[in-house]
Amino acid sequence: MSATSPTAGSESTGNSDLEFVVRTIAQTAVDNEREFGELDAVVGDGDFGYSLARGFEIVLADWDTFDRSSPSAFLKKVALVISKRVGGTSGPLWGTAFLRAAGAISDRAELDGTDAVAMLRAAAEGIKVRGRSDLGDKTLLDALIPMTDALEEEIRAVRTGGGAVADPVRLARVAASAARTAADATTPMLARRGRPSYTGERSIGSPDAGAVAIAVIAERIADEWARRT
């Protein structure tokens, strides 16, 4: 696996790119602890931001100890930390997401945009099974799945148009835009899973905290990737 970043316009990603994305996810979760918690408190127990931040703090603290022999091995170690150290329902769900993502690229040494889609699809399927939820239940899936759809469509459009690869900065921005639109669209939804579902119609009128977290993370990745490139 390459230890260097791809040049602009290249869809192939090296080890530093995967680490960059995971580290950005972790730092964003820590930086937005209060915002995510306040949003969750509207119809939930308010511990989402705290739980996510505490777990990803450990990911950052243990960063140099993770196995980097392959992309899959790296993600598995991250999944283990999250599963064990993130509290509430977030730990099993986010841990499963990372573990399933690792499984989707188990035989890959170099990653590209289609691998990113495969990881996101696998993560979403894992969350569906673990959380017994699906698109439309007002969960993070309502941002994660549309974001993945948009990413896949952008890659397909580039290749259909004769391009071999898609610009990773463009892909990140497409993903972020789709995630934000989808997260905002959870506002009028009735929650059907998790603690917010206990509040019935009170869950209508505010966006899902998990979906917003996906959007915020995707936006941070897009912003940081643009500066990085």
Map residue 13 onto helix, strand or coil.
strand
**CA-wise closest residue to 22 among 73, 92, 64, 74:** 74
For 131-184, give the DSSP string.
HT--TTSSSTHHHHHHHHHHHHHHHHHHHHTT-SS--HHHHHHHHHHHHHHHHH
Does the pTM surpass 0.75? The reply is yes
d(CA 164, CA 176): 22
Q: Give the tokens for residue 213.
A: 């977290």
**CA-wise closest residue to 96 among 134, 64, 133, 125:** 125
* Helix-, strand-, coil-residue percentages of the chain, each rounded to 5: 70, 0, 30
Sign of the alpha-carbon dihedral angle for 33, 34, 40, 46: positive
**What are the boundaries of each domain within the chain?**
15-228
Alpha carbon of 87 to those of 101, 155, 195: distances in Å?
21, 36, 14
What is the residue-level pLDDT of the chain in tens, covering all 229 positions?
Answer: 333 333 333 444 456 899 999 999 999 999 999 999 999 998 877 889 999 999 999 999 999 999 999 999 999 999 999 998 887 788 899 999 999 999 999 989 999 999 999 999 999 999 999 999 999 999 999 999 999 999 999 999 998 877 666 789 999 999 999 999 999 999 999 998 776 766 767 789 999 999 999 999 999 999 999 998 6
d(CA 224, CA 218): 10
Residues paired with residue 13 on neighbouring β-strands, in sequence order? 111
Q: Check: CATH 1.25.40.340 for 15-228?
A: yes
DSSP state of 45: -
d(CA 209, CA 220): 16
Instruction: Give 79-93 pLDDT, tens digit per residue.
Output: 999 998 887 788 899
**CA-wise closest residue to 125 among 155, 154, 151, 148:** 148
